[in-house]
Structure 1
Amino acid sequence: MTTTTDTDLRHWVPGVRDLTIDGNAVPGAGSEIEAVNPATEQVTATVAAASVAQVDEAVAAARRAFPAWAAASPAERSAALNRLADLMERHSERLAAAIVNEVGTPIAFAEIMQVRLGISHLRWQAEAALHDRTVDLGEWPDPVPTRSEVAYRPAGVVACITGYNYPLNLAIFKFGAALAAGCTVVLLPSPRTPLTTLWLGELFREAEIPAGVINVVLGGPEVGQHLTSHPLVDRVSFTGSDAIGAKIMKQAAAGLKGVTLELGGKSPNILLPGVDAAGLAKDIHLRWARNGGQGCAALARLLVHESLVDEFLGASKEAFTALKVGDPWDRSVNIGPMIRPDHRARVQSYIDGALADGGEIVLSLDTPVPDRGYFVNPVVIGGLPHSARAVQEEIFGPVAVLVPFADEDEAVRLANDTAYGLAANVFTPDVAHGRALAARLRSGTVWVNGGGNMRPDAPFGGFGRSGVGREIGEWGIREYLEVQHVQWRV
């Protein structure tokens, strides 16, 4: 028996170039899109996007498949999702390689957070497909004796649109929940990372998911707009920036479609008095900088009690030596490249702008970045007013800001002083106090003392410009269900 090595896979990308429409592999008829490895700047593949007519075909296929899939037994839907999870586990090494070479995620992180996590969520969704959600309301006497139940029915055809940073997980969070609920799907990945998702189309066919139940198309804004405004699409689920989310919400509004939007964040990391700031420094920095800071819940606003600032910065200088930027196939590397040169330039513009606004770099990694690839060294910037652009806006790169606070009330005010409300982390010597403090924070997720991973049974989403609705867990499945009241005389 042979074992695949990192060397075998470091230049591997999925060979699938076709769309998936009505269970068939279909060459795209639209414009060409280049897939680029952001760590090497090399074009790894050229794929053809869908034409508008092909989007229509995909939606029509999902519409035709909907009645039978909605009527399928929970056991049939669950079995289909488990077959798909089996295939993903069988191909887990290549899934990780695809993500490393397409996103630039370091291999050790890709294996756990980009692949293993996604498969675990798909397994949970397969189990959740078996649940009977019907609620018996009992009898009601007026004006005549009746009895009622509340049922949950599949919403219809769902457009699932994913971001580039976690192409597998974001897709699973959406299509897994939609299929478990009995909906059919048209899946549209980011054109920056098309290859992993196009390959999923082949896995859907191999898993014998019925034709039309899940379709994969590809394209830019024209394709996306046509899909989100399509009259035969009932729900739209999108992960990406709040600016694009607002446009999608507007496009969907014309058809009064339901939307689920998982958008940006500017999440606070709050260190209260009494915590071991020095001992926490390494994990704190690794967390906001992972995936190159290209994560919507990156905890990149470091709110540190003024009594802990010196201790935290002192320990952070050593902690920063644990950060290594470079080749994502090097297992000692934990920070990969930005996705494209324009995004690297955008991240650098935030650093330059923060310095122009009077900020200063209080922590930095000064090791030279590779000559090729869209790399940015991580930095922490201090000395900025909380109104500064770098403090208020999502940077989506390895840039954090340090903001001291005097007392807990100020920490809460600063934490909530943002248009976003996706996540927050509170470090405290008193867990019960941290749990109580969570009630004062406008954040969809609050971790206390680091919390844990993204559980498959817990909701994810946020307040304000962080989005609409929730993904993951029972809450995520109910985004794709309509509530129906059934009442009869007794």
Structure 2
Amino acid sequence: MIEHDSLYIGGQWLRPAENGVITVVSPADEQTIGAVPLATATDVDHAVAAAGAAFRGTWPRLTPGERADVLERLADELAKNRDERAALTSRQNGMPIAIAASAEGDSPVGLLRYYAALARATPLEERRPRLDGNGETLVRKEPVGVVAAIVPWNFPQALTMFKLAPALAAGCTVVLKPAPETTVDALELAAACERVGLPAGVLNVVTGGADVGEYLVSHPGVHKVAFTGSTAAGRRIGEVCGRLLRPVTLELGGKSAAIVLDDADLAATVRGLATSSLLNSGQTCYLSTRILAPRTRYAEVVDAVAGLAGSLTVGDPLSPDTLVGPMVSRRQRDRVESYIAAGKAGGATVATGGGRPAQDRGWYVQPTVFANVDNDARIAREEIFGPVLAVIPYGDIDEAVGIANDSDYGLGGTIWTSDVDRGVELARRVETGSIGVNFYGLDVGAPFGGVKASGIGRELGPEGLAAYHHLKSIYLPA
């Protein structure tokens, strides 16, 4: 058991205004593994006030190099317990430890170091000659202010740092609201920030449910919102921010396509699909969960994808041999199983899976592959967020592109081919924020985000830092 009885607000550990508790349950064995306070609107008020005071204080007035020093100290601190932090995520959300070691252990450290270096290298002011010849303009980058960062449960430490690292590098202050399923790691991060001397109020952590998040998003003391989560929640947040004219970054859902071309090496393709389509037990937003296969090789692709899914080791997420862990919650397992039922009822064929594995306890679902799927089927249109793939046939390349683009979403995607140049040309035609040729992997130095219902704005890369600046033009006479 890991228990916290206080929230981290204004550099102090404060008891919440009321006595509510969030219980954290292991999805692997359904045992209680932690407890944290349930924040209220009053606690959010205190956290936003603390962040506002810190923003009016010294933090945004430090040089980028001075802030970078703090980020590097935090990176060093987090590197000390990389394995323990990875295991903490696995215990909370069921992520296989083989994935968590990199995604949750190493990634936050790397993001802090990347944005520390970028802050040092990014000029805050630029002088431009006026086009009318009458003097010049000083264009200045300034921190946007108090940031509400709302983070999901699937990659909690990494996605926190997608927001926290650039926000702090830019000189912003942050109120972090983690998902209820993964709250313990957020408070552990606060403790690490305290140990390295992050000034009081620069990071504040409030733990609660959707009501706390909604109150935070609309709070008058917040200047920007950064959210990763479902499209439905993102739409609500976008509506609030639009009404308030508040900048917002929304990284939302996906239903990405893997286009398998007729010249693809099928053995290499299915090895790649293990991570680009089933990473973190399918609980990853950018996954290529629609497998588009040429009709000339359709049966062959179905057999190969089904063979891959059926071969993956399902079990204890803390075992290094596990490739598929449990769903994060009973509710999520029920959701995934409802889609499997819908696929069967809709006439699709279960090529493998379709039920629960043999585990006595835990919220597990078998990796499932559906064949004979039309792109209009529910399992091809809606984000499932579990280990469920739909293999869809196509005729020629134009039809493949049409199917890939016939989606409400546009976040990720992959092209599988023996001709990389052909793959790049095809990738240019897919309506998405990111796409990989013969693999998929986020690049910390390049922007990540979606189009259509997959969100607005970008994280990572220099663009991720720019999202926490606003621009001021100072006109200077000749």
Determine if the TM-score, normalized by the shorter chain, exceeds 0.5.
yes
Residue equivalent to 1:303: 292
Give the counterpart letter for 1:25 in structure 2.
W
Tell me, in whole angstroms, the C-alpha distance in 2 between the residues paired with 1:487 and 1:311. 65
Residue equivalent to 1:399: 388
Residue equivalent to 2:80: 90
Choose the corresponding residue for 1:458, options 446, 454, 461.
Answer: 446
Q: 1:21-36 maps to which residues of 2 (within 5 A)?
A: 21-30=9-18, 31-36=20-25
Tell me, in whole angstroms, the C-alpha distance in 2 between the residues paired with 1:69 and 1:483. 18
Residue equivalent to 1:129: 119
Tell me, in whole angstroms, the C-alpha distance in 1 between the residues paired with 2:356 and 2:10. 50
Q: 1:179-198 maps to which residues of 2 (within 5 A)?
A: 179-198=168-187
The 8 Å contact of residues 28 and 363 in structure 2, kept in 1 or not, is answered as yes
Tell me, in whole angstroms, the C-alpha distance in 2 between the residues paired with 1:317 and 1:467. 31
Residue equivalent to 2:347: 358
CA shift in 2, pair 1:389/1:422, >3 Å: same
Displacement of 1:28 in angstroms is 2.5
CA shift in 2, pair 1:103/1:141, >3 Å: closer
For structure 2, which runs of at least 5 residues remain unmatched after alignment? none
Bigger mean CA deviation after superposition, 320-329 or 31-40: 320-329
The 8 Å contact of residues 4 and 37 in structure 2, kept in 1 or not, is answered as no
Give the counterpart letter for 2:448 in structure 1.
F
The 8 Å contact of residues 55 and 217 in structure 1, kept in 2 or not, is answered as yes
Tell me, in whole angstroms, the C-alpha distance in 2 between the residues paired with 1:409 and 1:21. 54
Displacement of 1:150 in angstroms is 1.7
Residue equivalent to 1:105: 95
1:416-438 deviations in whole A, cap 9, x for unaligned? 11100001101122212222222
1:97-144 deviations in whole A, cap 9, x for unaligned? 1111101111111101222122211210111121333464532363x6
Give the counterpart letter for 2:293 in structure 1.
V
Pair 1:241 & 2:235 matched: no
Tell me, in whole angstroms, the C-alpha distance in 2 between the residues paired with 1:239 and 1:450. 23
Give the counterpart letter for 1:59 in structure 2.
V
Q: SS where residue 445 of structure 1 aligns?
A: coil
Provide the aligned C-alpha RMSD in A.
Answer: 1.6
Pair 1:268 & 2:257 matched: yes
Choose the corresponding residue for 1:474, options 457, 462, 465.
Answer: 462
Choose the corresponding residue for 2:192, options 183, 203, 206.
Answer: 203
Q: 1:380-391 maps to which residues of 2 (within 5 A)?
A: 380-391=369-380
Tell me, in whole angstroms, the C-alpha distance in 1 between the residues paired with 2:242 and 2:152. 21
Choose the corresponding residue for 1:70, options 43, 50, 60.
Answer: 60
Normalising by structure 1, what TM-score? 0.94
CA shift in 2, pair 1:433/1:279, >3 Å: closer
Q: 1:365-444 maps to which residues of 2 (within 5 A)?
A: 368-444=357-433
1:277-316 deviations in whole A, cap 9, x for unaligned? 2332233134322211000011111011122223223333
Give the counterpart letter for 1:56 in structure 2.
D
Q: SS where residue 25 of structure 2 aligns?
A: strand
Tell me, in whole angstroms, the C-alpha distance in 2 between the residues paired with 1:210 and 1:316. 51
Count of residues in correspondence between the two structures: 476
The 8 Å contact of residues 163 and 170 in structure 1, kept in 2 or not, is answered as yes
Residue equivalent to 1:285: 274
The 8 Å contact of residues 415 and 441 in structure 1, kept in 2 or not, is answered as yes
1:50-83 deviations in whole A, cap 9, x for unaligned? 1211111110111111132111111111011111
Give the counterpart letter for 1:458 in structure 2.
A
Bigger mean CA deviation after superposition, 198-207 or 276-285: 276-285
1:309-338 deviations in whole A, cap 9, x for unaligned? 232233334433430111112211110111
Tell me, in whole angstroms, the C-alpha distance in 1 between the residues paired with 2:92 and 2:269. 32
1:258-283 deviations in whole A, cap 9, x for unaligned? 11000000011111111112332233
The 8 Å contact of residues 148 and 217 in structure 2, kept in 1 or not, is answered as yes
Choose the corresponding residue for 1:42, options 21, 31, 38.
Answer: 31
1:170-197 deviations in whole A, cap 9, x for unaligned? 1000011110111100000001111111
Q: SS where residue 330 of structure 1 aligns?
A: coil
Identity %: 38
Q: SS where residue 341 of structure 2 aligns?
A: helix
Give the counterpart letter for 1:439 in structure 2.
R
Displacement of 1:363 in angstroms is 2.8
Pair 1:117 & 2:111 matched: no
Tell me, in whole angstroms, the C-alpha distance in 2 between the residues paired with 1:456 and 1:238. 18
The 8 Å contact of residues 369 and 377 in structure 1, kept in 2 or not, is answered as no
Displacement of 1:403 in angstroms is 0.4
The 8 Å contact of residues 17 and 195 in structure 1, kept in 2 or not, is answered as no
Tell me, in whole angstroms, the C-alpha distance in 2 between the residues paired with 1:475 and 1:242. 22
The 8 Å contact of residues 134 and 149 in structure 1, kept in 2 or not, is answered as no
1:212-243 deviations in whole A, cap 9, x for unaligned? 01111111122111110011100000000000
Tell me, in whole angstroms, the C-alpha distance in 1 between the residues paired with 2:306 and 2:451. 34
The 8 Å contact of residues 277 and 308 in structure 1, kept in 2 or not, is answered as no
